[in-house]
Amino acid sequence: MFDRNRLAKAYRKVRRDLLVERNPSGHWIGELSTSALSTATAVSALAIVSRTVGNPDTMGRDHAPRRFSDLIRNGVRWLANAQNVDGGWGDTDKSHSNIATTMLVVAAFHLADQSTTHAAILKRAEQYIDKHGRIDGLRQRYGKDKTFAVPILTNCALANLIDWKEVSPLPFELACLPQGLYRFLGFPVVSYAIPALVGIGQARYFHRPPRNPVARLLRAASVRSTLNVLDRMQPETGGYLEAVPLTSFVCMSLASTGRVWHPVTKAAVDFIIDSVRPDGSWPIDTNLAMWNTTLSLNALAGAGEDIAGVVDERNSNPARLLDWILGCQYQDIHPFTGARPGGWGWSDLSGAVPDADDTPSALLTLAYWRDAESCAEHQRGRIRTAAIAGCRWLLSLQNRDGGWPTFCRGWGKLPFDRSGSDLTAHALRALKAWWGESSPPAYGRHDSKKAIQRGFSYLRDRQCSDGSWLPLWFGNHDHQDEENPVYGTAKVLKAFRDFDLLESAEARHGLRWLCEAQNEDGGWGNGTRGGSSSSVEETALAVEALLGNQLNVELQPAVAKGLEWLVNAVEKDLHGITSPIGFYFAKLWYHEKLYPLIFTASALGRAQQLLSASACEAEMSLPEIKKQAEPA
């Protein structure tokens, strides 16, 4: 079906490139894309703080106002050079323009007192905003979800670009209530945006108090206690969720109400300044170190690598990487979401939060490590203890609909709090990897067998009529609805593969859809044949899903074309080209440097394993074939 020598050579090249990306401690950090959205919010926050400080005193860790002006000027310069041809800005340097980021950039120029200097740039930006409906267009983009629409409008109001009456008031006083009640209160923002609810809610209250005297008194009485909530939720780094936009919104809101010297504001300023890049821009988040590390290890293990030994060959102590992974598991109730111990977040930094995508990825890594030849017996005991806690954490998170949400069980009203097909498939694979180890009930009636049955029922219910599945945290900006059915379908089919269910009607329907979505050049893009150019990430995901557990004759033509596309990309050194396929929070786009390397290594490694196994089977059956061919 394919030249095994070319395939092996391509895999070795990708494997080498992936291993080179490790840091001296043996894990992967990666690099998130620079973001116009993050840069704009950071510039706005620093500009408001700088105006409020108004004296030569320092704040935070000796950050003087003059340093603020340097950061603001460099950020504005970067933004001016990043404007798209249509006059707008996208979330990343590879993203299409959108009204949300464009409005934030315009606000940043005004707050930085750069509107006159860059008048021509702003004129084109205003034309773009007019074309896309201004405030009405922004609200249409986000619908009922106020997680991002209200912060953007707040930023614009602080820049005096709109009236405060356009900014919806947020019930920040509800944050005073116990966390266990949050999911029952009908918050207008998603679960992970409580800091924005408090900070922006207070800014709206301060700049435009409610006319209702009861509401005014209630909110006035809640200011101090909700500030305590912000303080309690803020991590050691100062960055909420390690994200510049969320932290900047809180920072600018508190500074605008005169709380520039509040500990929360000072810590947020420290985080913003520490996160700036040499070119004057800011990324969407600090890093995805835990996520990138477990994805890399799982890709290599799927290719037959001994991840307990070979992968850590750079280090004098092979156990260091395992210690790092186990050390990232949360052992206490998390202050941000109130999550129980046992889960993993996307980073080893204090601002990360345990979730239902990183936890399954870590559990799969631990299962591979447990089964590796180089794994010491004393390591297996530690791994099993951590894995059982992780499985129980996952079981406790499952929603009533049978699917898994990201952070908090029961928050299902807004898009990024609902259950997701990609999350559910990942959770199912993790539970399967620890089947038998995690079967004791986790909390009450939830055990792994029932959870898995309900999880597959959820996946069957969420399959689209064309056979595809849509993910929650990934998209394709060339798709008409900004969805990524290639990613979602590939992730779900891996769950069916691990449970030997690829012959089921749902899986066969999904596999047929993947074949039909293949572009003429052999790669995959937005899920519509010819609808967009092929990307490394989506092609690798599709190829691995089509490979399954064995080389299916019906799928071989699509697999062969996909492998040809991937191997060609590697041979031409194109396998490191990133695409903006990731969502961060309310559809904020990002791309990650390691994604194409990881996904390609996973696909080519698995293909090599299956082709080798197929060749061995053919060689083993050759004597029998010769015997049958001999004359009687």
Instruction: Please indicate, yes or no, whether residues 137 and 257 belong to a single structural domain of this protein.
Output: yes
Instruction: Please indicate, yes or no, whether residues 88 and 207 belong to a single structural domain of this protein.
Output: yes
Instruction: Please indicate, yes or no, whether residues 294 and 440 belong to a single structural domain of this protein.
Output: yes
Cβ neighbours of residue 387 under 8 Å, at least 6 residues apart?
363, 366, 367, 370, 434, 437, 438
How many Å apart are CA 379 and CA 49, to the nearest integer? 50
486 located within any domain: no
Q: Locate all alpha helices (DSSP H) within 234-288, ordered by sequence.
A: 244-256, 263-275
498 located within any domain: no
Question: Last residue of some domain: 283, 302, 318?
Answer: 283
pTM of the model: 0.92
Q: What DSSP string runs through 418-455? A: S-BHHHHHHHHHHHHHTTTTS-S-SBTTB-HHHHHHHH
Question: Last residue of some domain: 250, 283, 316?
Answer: 283
Q: H helices then E strands: how many in the chain?
A: 22, 4
Chain centroid to CA 296: 15
Q: What's the number of domains the chain is made of?
A: 3
pLDDT tens sequence across 497-542? 999 999 999 999 999 999 999 999 999 999 888 888 999 999 999 9
Instruction: Please indicate, yes or no, whether residues 197 and 297 belong to a single structural domain of this protein.
Output: no
Instruction: Please indicate, yes or no, whether residues 409 and 434 belong to a single structural domain of this protein.
Output: yes
495 located within any domain: no
Instruction: Please indicate, yes or no, whether residues 303 and 250 belong to a single structural domain of this protein.
Output: no
Nearest partner of 12 among 606, 613, 618, 604, judged by Cα: 604
Instruction: Please indicate, yes or no, whether residues 331 and 273 belong to a single structural domain of this protein.
Output: no
**Burial letters 161-182, b for 16+ CB under 10 A, else e:** bbebebbebbbbbbbeeebeeb
Domain containing residue 182: CATH number? 1.50.10.20
496 located within any domain: no
pLDDT tens sequence across 27-86? 999 999 999 999 999 999 999 998 877 554 445 565 566 688 899 999 999 999 999 999
Nearest partner of 368 among 325, 403, 328, judged by Cα: 325
Q: Mapped to the 3 state alphabet, what secondary structure does 540-581 carry?
A: HHHHHHHHCCCCCHHHHHHHHHHHHHHHHHHHCCCCCCCCCC
Q: How many other CB atoms are there within 10 angstroms of residue 224's CB atom? A: 9
How many Å apart are CA 404 and CA 510, to the nearest integer? 20
pLDDT tens sequence across 294-335? 999 999 999 999 999 876 556 556 678 999 999 999 999 988
Most confident of the following: 147-151, 437-441, 481-485: 481-485
Output Rg (C-alpha) for the chain, integer angstroms. Answer: 25
Kindly report the average pLDDT of the chain as a whole number. 89
Instruction: Please indicate, yes or no, whether residues 329 and 451 belong to a single structural domain of this protein.
Output: yes
Q: How many other CB atoms are there within 10 angstroms of residue 149's CB atom? A: 23
Cβ neighbours of residue 304 under 8 Å, at least 6 residues apart?
605, 608, 609
How many Å apart are CA 98 and CA 281, to the nearest integer? 19
Question: Last residue of some domain: 462, 490, 514?
Answer: 462
Instruction: Please indicate, yes or no, whether residues 575 and 631 belong to a single structural domain of this protein.
Output: yes
Cβ neighbours of residue 396 under 8 Å, at least 6 residues apart?
340, 409, 442, 443, 446
380 located within any domain: yes
With beta carbons less than 8 A apart as the criterion, state whether 429 and 498 touch. yes
Q: Give the pLDDT band of residue 629 (cuts 50, 70, 90).
A: very low
Instruction: Please indicate, yes or no, whether residues 477 and 446 belong to a single structural domain of this protein.
Output: no
Instruction: Please indicate, yes or no, whether residues 114 and 11 belong to a single structural domain of this protein.
Output: no
The domain in which residue 400 lies consists of 287-462
Work out the angle between the directed axes of helices 65-81 and 36-53 (0-180°, nearest 10).
Answer: 150
With beta carbons less than 8 A apart as the criterion, state whether 402 and 388 touch. no
According to the model, what pLDDT value does residue 437 have? 59
629 located within any domain: yes
Nearest partner of 106 among 136, 85, 130, judged by Cα: 130
314 located within any domain: yes
In the structure encoding, which two tokens stand for residue 220, read together?
Answer: 């006035």
Instruction: Please indicate, yes or no, whether residues 365 and 339 belong to a single structural domain of this protein.
Output: yes
494 located within any domain: no
Cα distances (angstroms) measured from residue 142 to each of 78, 204, 250, 584: 27, 20, 20, 14
